[in-house]
A and B are shown apart, each in its own frame.
Chain A
Amino acid sequence: MSARARVVLQVLPLTAVLLAFFVVPILFVLAVSFFHYDDFGVVPAFSFENYADVLSEHLTLDLYLSTVRFAAIVWFFTLLIGFWVAYFLVFHVRNQLVAIGLFLVCTVPFWTSNIIRMISWLPLLGKEGLINRLLINMHLINRPLEFLLFSDFAVVVCYVHLFTIFMIVPLFNSMSRIDRALFEAAMDAGMSRLQTVLFVVVPLVKSGIVLGSIFVITLVMGDFYVVKVMSGGGHASVVSAMFDDISVLLFPHAAANAVFLIIIVLMMVGLILRAVDVRKELVDQR
Chain B
Amino acid sequence: MLTATGKRPWTFYALAGFFALYVAFLYGPMLCIFILSFQGQGGALVFPMRGFGLYWFVDLFTQVRTGDVLGAISRSIPLALIVMTLTVVISVASGLAFRNRFRGSGILFYGAIASLVAPGLVLSIGIGLMFQLLGLPQHWYSSAVGAQLTSTLPFGLLIMFAVFGRFNRAYEEAARDLGAAPALILRLVVVPIILPGIIAVALFGFTLSYDEFARTLQTSGPTNTLPLEIWSMTTNVTSPALYALGTVTTAFSFIVIAISLTAIALIQRRRFGRTLATKPPVAAGGGAAGG
Residues of A whose CB lies within 8 Å of any CB of B are 1, 6-7, 9-11, 13-15, 17-18, 20-26, 28-29, 32, 81, 84-85, 87-89, 91-92, 94, 100, 102-109, 111-117, 119-124, 126, 128-130, 133, 161, 164, 169, 172-173, 176, 180, 183-184, 187, 193, 214-215, 218-219, 221-222, 224-225, 229, 239, 242-243, 246, 251, 254-255, 258, 261-262, 265-266, 269, 279, 282-286
Find out whether the CB atom of A119 lies under 8 angstroms from the CB atom of B246. Answer: yes
| Surface stretch bound by A, among B51-59, B64-72, B156-164 | B156-164
Find out whether the CB atom of A21 lies under 8 angstroms from the CB atom of B32. Answer: no
Find out whether the CB atom of B122 lies under 8 angstroms from the CB atom of A262. Answer: yes
Find out whether the CB atom of A109 lies under 8 angstroms from the CB atom of B26. Answer: yes
Find out whether the CB atom of A161 lies under 8 angstroms from the CB atom of B46. Answer: no
Instruction: Give 11 pairs: A residue, B residue, CB < 8 Å, sorted on A.
Output: A14-B90, A23-B111, A28-B126, A84-B18, A85-B19, A92-B15, A109-B30, A111-B207, A113-B249, A116-B250, A282-B158
- The contact of B22 among A11, A85, A108, by CB within 8 Å, is A85
Find out whether the CB atom of B149 lies under 8 angstroms from the CB atom of A221. Answer: no
Closest chain B residue to A118 by CB distance? Answer: B234
Find out whether the CB atom of B15 lies under 8 angstroms from the CB atom of A246. Answer: no
CA distance A23 to B210 in the complex (A): 24
Q: Cβ of B254 < 8 Å from any Cβ of A?
A: yes
CA distance A18 to B23 in the complex (A): 36
User: Whole-angstrom distance from the CB of B216 to the nearest CB of chain A?
Assistant: 12
Main secondary structure on chain A at its contact with chain B? helix
CA distance A176 to B213 in the complex (A): 33
Chain A residues with Cβ below 8 Å from B290 are 169, 173
For the complex of A and B, the 4 pairs showing the least CB-CB separation, nearest first, are A25-B126, A222-B119, A285-B165, A10-B97
- CB-defined interface of B128-159 with A at 8 Å, one 1/0 digit per residue? 01100100000000000011011001000110
- The contact of A221 among B47, B119, B133, by CB within 8 Å, is B119
Find out whether the CB atom of A254 lies under 8 angstroms from the CB atom of B125. Answer: yes
Chain A residues with Cβ below 8 Å from B161 are 282-283, 285
Chain B residues with Cβ below 8 Å from A284 are 165
CA distance A262 to B120 in the complex (A): 11
A14-B122 contact in complex given A21-B146, A120-B29, C-beta closer than 8 Å: no
A258-B32 contact in complex given A20-B146, A111-B257, C-beta closer than 8 Å: no
User: Whole-angstrom distance from the CB of A23 to the nearest CB of chain B?
Assistant: 8
Q: A14-B112, A112-B250 are known contacts; what are 15 more A-B pairs with Cβ within 8 Å?
A: A9-B93, A21-B127, A22-B114, A92-B12, A103-B289, A111-B207, A112-B254, A113-B210, A119-B242, A120-B30, A124-B28, A130-B47, A214-B117, A224-B214, A282-B158
Find out whether the CB atom of A113 lies under 8 angstroms from the CB atom of B111. Answer: no
A222-B118 contact in complex given A115-B231, A120-B32, C-beta closer than 8 Å: yes
Chain B residues with Cβ below 8 Å from A14 are 90-91, 93-94, 108, 112, 153, 157
User: Whole-angstrom distance from the CB of B173 to the nearest CB of chain A?
Assistant: 14
Chain B residues with Cβ below 8 Å from A111 are 203-204, 207, 211, 253, 256-257
A117-B29 contact in complex given A92-B16, A222-B214, A243-B121, C-beta closer than 8 Å: yes
Find out whether the CB atom of A262 lies under 8 angstroms from the CB atom of B211. Answer: no
A224-B149 contact in complex given A126-B45, A133-B47, C-beta closer than 8 Å: no
Chain B residues with Cβ below 8 Å from A282 are 158, 161-162, 165
Find out whether the CB atom of B218 lies under 8 angstroms from the CB atom of A246. Answer: yes
Find out whether the CB atom of B2 lies under 8 angstroms from the CB atom of A123. Answer: no
Q: Cβ of B288 < 8 Å from any Cβ of A?
A: yes
Find out whether the CB atom of B230 lies under 8 angstroms from the CB atom of A115. Answer: yes
Chain A residues with Cβ below 8 Å from B282 are none
- The contact of B129 among A15, A23, A29, A283, by CB within 8 Å, is A29
Find out whether the CB atom of A115 lies under 8 angstroms from the CB atom of B213. Answer: yes
A183-B2 contact in complex given A105-B23, A215-B117, A251-B129, C-beta closer than 8 Å: yes
